[in-house]
Amino acid sequence: MNVKPLTVVTVLAAIVGALAPVALSAYLAREEATRTEKDRALFYALDVLERSEAVTDQIDIGIKRLVASHESNPCSASSQALMKEIDLSSSYIQAIGHIAANRILCSSLGAELDGQDLGPVDMVRPSGVRLWLNVRFPFAKDVGFLAVERDGFVAIVHKNLPIDTTTHIKGAALATIAYPEARVITGSGHIESKWIQAVAREPKAFIDEKYVVAVAAPRKYFIGAICALPIAELDRRIYANSLVTIPAGLLASLLLAWAIFQIAQARTAMPAVIKCALKRREFFLEYQPLVELSTGKWMGAEALIRWRRMKGEVVKPDVFIPVAEESGLIQQVSQYVVDEVAAEAGELFRRFPDFHIGINLAAADLHDDGTVLMLRKLVEQTGAHPSCIVIEATERSFTDHNRASDVIARLRSEGFPVAIDDFGTGYSSLSYLERIKFNYLKIDKSFVDTLNTDAPTSEVILHIISMAKSLNIEMIAEGVETEQQAQFLRERGVQYAQGWLYGRPMPLSRLLHTLQAHDASSEARDESNRRIHQ
Ligand code: C2E
Ligand code: CA
Ligand code: CA
């Protein structure tokens, strides 16, 4: 099987291109899920931090009040009354009392706690605050308490209070951490020591193998917080997101694949369609007038091909001419154009023997001797003088200088003038200008457009004009749309112009009609001048 490498590349590009939306939707599902899960972990870590700060606030205020109020006896009746008041008015504190040698001597709970030994201290904070992390009392054996002591007073809180945030997530871990000691104060679930070390200035979240971890840095009390959510939660969320994004991605992929297929099919089918259109004679010509800038007189017209398909749809030459060139059909198109001119322009040449018709030729025409015969025949059929058939050849057709220059030399020797079309757009070296002699240079519309603008290329047209002058080639400016452009070109010595300012492409009948009307009015003018001078 003969498969062109280009086709394989195109198919591969189409597959990769079409799969892109699916890949993108999978990526988006993961990204969105990761972001949400990290946000959730951060939310819990910050919540734990806030709770532990609120608990610490209450303990701090309570102990400060007791220290300030007691005189010599911390267990005086008034001090114990204050303990009760603090306990009742603080939402987090379970009990508050006086302690000496790790033993509670009196408290807001009265006789219940008196004489309780808290045992050895678990942690002494840099501030001097001492902590017992898991105290058990005989009256509530199943509950662990946190005891915080400062200046002889101790506050008792439920150990799980700071981490009592409702995550409802199986396998989630929460903890409050003492910094700089980097030790867990209260915690539930599995906490890795590297997460504790990962504390930063800002709260941050990251993925560590089996967990999405968030660390809230200490703000007020050298206490930080950690939340770790099992990775299964993230996977579940990715899956849920994928259920939405993947079908959308698949749909986009299918649409894209369909579009790529349609375009590819249209491109490969186009040559066959052009061939068929040539047979069915779906093409026709329009003629755009070309004027002498100094007088405004119509000197000639460029034949421009038009394609109206059977269903009435119009295809632009910019679309089908390149396809015809690539697929080797362009010479058939040129023959078609010449045949059309032959069939319809006879009367024009009879009535206006000096009028020019410009015909666009392609590289393939300029590489083929048959082109000379084709144009010779046109001259015979229409009775036109060869000097009235102007050949328009784009810069692109001079890639093979030698072959093009032979055919052009023969055309010129037979009397056909030759114009370089779209001058300045071909990116080719200008060396062909020395080898091939031209009659006209058509300044491309893109340069005319820059006139009277600040475009950086607006100077280029001046160089083109001075070059044409030094080569002694007459100039035709294309795409002239305003009187200012015409004025500029006239002042710089450009001889001819073509553009909407003077006339859009039109059917031959209208061209002929307008020429006759011009003719009649100038004859009338001549007649009246003759009478005046008699
Ligand atoms: P081109 O040879 O440069 O033809 C001039 C193009 O500029 C024409 O477009 C014309 O309609 C357009 N034009 C003229 N004056 C103005 C103006 O003032 N403003 C604007 N905006 N446009 C203006 P068209 O007819 O669409 O042709 C496009 C191109 O297709 C032609 O460019 C030529 O390269 C090619 N083409 C057209 N007919 C033939 C043909 O019979 N044979 C070959 N080989 N190529 C052709
Ligand atoms: Ca042209
Ligand atoms: Ca042109």
What separation in Å is there between the alpha carbon of 318 and the centre of ligand 1?
8
pLDDT tens per residue across span 344-368: 999 999 999 999 999 999 999 999 9
**Which atom of ligand 1 approaches the CA of 334 most closely?**
42
Give me the pLDDT at residue 280, please: 94
In this structure, are residues 156 and 93 in contact, taking their beta carbons and an 8 Å threshold?
yes
What separation in Å is there between the alpha carbon of 421 and the centre of ligand 3?
5
Give me the pLDDT at residue 9, please: 66
* Cα distances (angstroms) measured from residue 153 to each of 89, 117, 130, 421: 17, 14, 10, 100
Sign of the CA dihedral 466, 471, 473, 478?
negative
Mean pLDDT across the chain: 90
Backbone φ, ψ for residue 437 (5° rounding) = -100, 130
Answer yes or no: is the C-beta of 479 below 6 A from any ligand 1 atom: yes
Which residue CA neighbors atom 8 of ligand 1 most closely?
304
Beta strands at 153-158 and 183-188: parallel, antiparallel or unpaired: unpaired
The length of the chain is: 534
pLDDT tens per residue across span 237-268: 999 999 998 899 889 888 888 888 777 777 77
What separation in Å is there between the alpha carbon of 297 and the centre of ligand 3?
20
Q: Give mean pLDDT, residues 72-80.
A: 91
More confident of the two residues 218 and 375 = 375
One domain for residues 135 and 41: yes
One domain for residues 314 and 405: yes
One domain for residues 207 and 316: no
One domain for residues 224 and 298: no
Answer yes or no: is the C-beta of 500 below 6 A from any ligand 1 atom: yes
Give the residue among 329, 325, 471, 463 at the shortest CA–CA distance from 399. 325
In a domain, 106, yes or no: yes
Give me the pLDDT at residue 10, please: 67
pLDDT tens per residue across span 467-502: 999 999 999 999 999 999 999 999 999 999 999 999
* Ligand showing the shortest atom-to-Cα distance for residue 365: 1
Answer yes or no: is the C-beta of 505 below 6 A from any ligand 1 atom: yes
In a domain, 246, yes or no: no
What separation in Å is there between the alpha carbon of 18 and the centre of ligand 1?
36
One domain for residues 41 and 119: yes
pLDDT tier for residue 2 given thresholds of 50, 70 and 90: very low
Query: What would the 3-class secondary structure string for 408-476 be?
Result: HHHHHHCCCCEEEEEECCCCCCCCHHHHCCCCEEEECHHHHHCCCCCCHHHHHHHHHHHHHHHHCCEEE
One domain for residues 432 and 295: yes
One domain for residues 321 and 213: no
Q: Give mean pLDDT, residues 66-84.
A: 90
Residue that terminates a domain, selected from 231, 247, 269: 231
In a domain, 271, yes or no: no
Q: Give mean pLDDT, residues 44-65.
A: 93
One domain for residues 348 and 451: yes
Q: With 0-12 CB in 10 A as exposed, 13-18 as middle and 19+ as buried, what is 2?
A: exposed
**Which atom of ligand 1 approaches the CA of 444 most closely?**
3
What separation in Å is there between the alpha carbon of 444 and the centre of ligand 2?
9
One domain for residues 286 and 227: no
Answer yes or no: is the C-beta of 288 below 6 A from any ligand 1 atom: yes
pLDDT tier for residue 421 given thresholds of 50, 70 and 90: very high
Give me the pLDDT at residue 497, please: 98
Residue 291 CA to residue 494 CA, distance in Å, equals 11
Which residue CA neighbors atom 20 of ligand 1 most closely?
479
What separation in Å is there between the alpha carbon of 392 and the centre of ligand 2?
6
Give me the pLDDT at residue 211, please: 94
Q: Per the structure, how many domains does the chain have? A: 2
- Checking if the pLDDT of 401 tops 80, the result is no
What separation in Å is there between the alpha carbon of 491 and the centre of ligand 2?
24
Answer yes or no: is the C-beta of 304 below 6 A from any ligand 1 atom: yes
Answer yes or no: is the C-beta of 422 below 6 A from any ligand 1 atom: yes
Q: Give mean pLDDT, residues 99-109.
A: 93
Sign of the CA dihedral 83, 87, 89, 90?
positive
What separation in Å is there between the alpha carbon of 445 and the centre of ligand 1?
10
In a domain, 263, yes or no: no
**Which atom of ligand 1 approaches the CA of 481 most closely?**
18
One domain for residues 209 and 297: no
* Ligand showing the shortest atom-to-Cα distance for residue 318: 1
Answer yes or no: is the C-beta of 318 below 6 A from any ligand 1 atom: yes
Answer yes or no: is the C-beta of 323 below 6 A from any ligand 1 atom: no
Q: Which domain holds residue 340?
A: 281-525
In a domain, 258, yes or no: no
One domain for residues 289 and 227: no
**Which atom of ligand 1 approaches the CA of 361 most closely?**
44
In a domain, 531, yes or no: no
pLDDT tens per residue across span 11-21: 777 777 778 88
* Ligand showing the shortest atom-to-Cα distance for residue 444: 3
In a domain, 249, yes or no: no
What separation in Å is there between the alpha carbon of 395 and the centre of ligand 3?
10
Answer yes or no: is the C-beta of 142 below 6 A from any ligand 1 atom: no
Q: Look up the CATH number of the domain holding residue 469.
A: 3.20.20.450
Q: Which of 360, 374, 389, 451 to mutate to test the pocket of ligand 1 (most atoms within 8 A of CB)?
A: 360
Give me the pLDDT at residue 47, please: 92
The strand ranges marked E within 320-371 are: 356-361
- Checking if the pLDDT of 448 tops 90, the result is yes
What separation in Å is there between the alpha carbon of 193 and the centre of ligand 1?
75
Alpha helices in 187-312 (DSSP H): 193-197, 231-280
pLDDT tier for residue 381 given thresholds of 50, 70 and 90: very high
In a domain, 530, yes or no: no
Q: Give mean pLDDT, residues 269-289.
A: 94
Residue that terminates a domain, selected from 202, 231, 260: 231
One domain for residues 219 and 123: yes
- Checking if the pLDDT of 373 tops 70, the result is yes
